[in-house]
Structure 1
């Protein structure tokens, strides 16, 4: 996560005030270096590393808690708050999960968003970013090789999130994280359903590799096209699965009707 963890809380050399500490930690959260659920070092350790007094540190942490960026657990430490999940309110999540058209809208949105993000990543990714993306594809391949869907799907989510980080656009980064929160929780799309489509398992891996290739080649157009093709495949797979589910539902209703009709006929006899 980020560069070197020991650099996150380097000493504050000028203006050792609560405001300086607040600004430092806010920036780490804004840049996506500190993520929701990350635990901050203990008070004594953090004060030492920042080279500030503990009263000043406590004041800064209190400000951050008041702003909803940190949460403290009694006796359990201080953690980064879940601010990503709040991009989509729970009532909105509940609403769109109950209406089928929402999934299509979600995929249309993802197609545009992911194409733009991949193109920016191709332009802006650092050496560290490219190495991280390559490592996630290697993890995806490893899961694929042994048919470990959970491992592969986890790497899939991490890969797309890392592309968002590699685009180096703060608003885009947090939008992507919120978008993938819905996906990882299976709210708008059952990823296993897509994996189960004929030929999908191998095709999805190749699509992710194509996105990586465009980013590594620093070719924005190639990266964008690969990302859009990936979402197009998911859209087609989701539609095919919906059609299959609908056919199964109708067949089941017909069978029930036949059974009921047969039972009625027997009773009349």
Structure 2
């Protein structure tokens, strides 16, 4: 992490350390679960004394931004997962309208994120985005659903990072956490639909290509087309599940009647 933390300039105080780590978390450089360097190494990188560093880490932990595992180091806390509390997640997971609202919200937010990303992505951003796209291509070719689904979430997270808007970044991360946890969508059911995996890959490639080309209008349109497809595929998957449920009930009922005859 030598490129992440930098020497505290001017007054070497706990406040300077707190400010730097807070900013790294806010800007999305440090993510939940990321491990900080050991105390000695981090003090060296920041060029502060270890007592100052301890004071700063204590304050950050009290604020809920980091956590220390006994004998296991210091980590960035799961602040994104707490945006939607467990009771709220359970509530929206049991109400069908929430899925439609979730996709409607994502359509608008991802359109903005893709547009901003096409305008603002740095060369370093594009390197990261291309690497994720490459892993997605490889997972698709290997028919590794779990890896492909993970790359899907990581790709959208990266587009949010490329947009360079802090509020948009963390809002989208909260949305993707719900997606990754399966609160709204059963992505496995969508991937099972005919040609869905190929279509989704092509759509991710289109978003990536538009951002890499610096074309905001194309990026926005590609993001909207992607969510429109996900919405239709979700509806179709839900209808298919319902058809199967009804068919099983009919078969069960007919079988019961046959047994009685």
With structure 1 as the length reference, what TM-score do the two structures score? Answer: 0.94
* Corresponding residue SS for 2:67: strand
Unaligned runs of 5+ in 1: none
| Alignment-derived partner of residue 29 in structure 1 | 25
Q: Based on CA coordinates, which of the two structures has the bigger radius of gyration?
A: 1
| Alignment-derived partner of residue 213 in structure 1 | 209
| Alignment-derived partner of residue 135 in structure 1 | 131
Unaligned runs of 5+ in 2: none
| Alignment-derived partner of residue 157 in structure 1 | 153
Equivalent of 2:242, from 231, 239, 246? 246
Task: Note the 1:166-245 alignment, pairs <5 A.
Answer: 166-245=162-241
Equivalent of 1:39, from 28, 35, 38? 35
Equivalent of 1:14, from 7, 10, 14? 10
Following the alignment from structure 1 to structure 2, what is the Cα–Cα distance between the partners of residues 9 and 209? 33
* Corresponding residue SS for 2:81: helix
* Corresponding residue SS for 1:56: helix
* Corresponding residue SS for 1:256: helix
- Which stretch shifts more, 106-115 or 255-264? 255-264
Question: Displacement, 1:78?
Answer: 1.0
Following the alignment from structure 1 to structure 2, what is the Cα–Cα distance between the partners of residues 190 and 133? 25
Computed over aligned residues only, the root mean square deviation of the Cα atoms, in angstroms, reads: 1.1
With structure 2 as the length reference, what TM-score do the two structures score? Answer: 0.97
Deviations 1:138-193 (CA, angstroms, capped at 9, x unpaired):
11111111212222222111111000000000011111111111111111111111
Deviations 1:221-255 (CA, angstroms, capped at 9, x unpaired):
11010001001111111111111111111111111
Equivalent pairs counted in the alignment come to 261
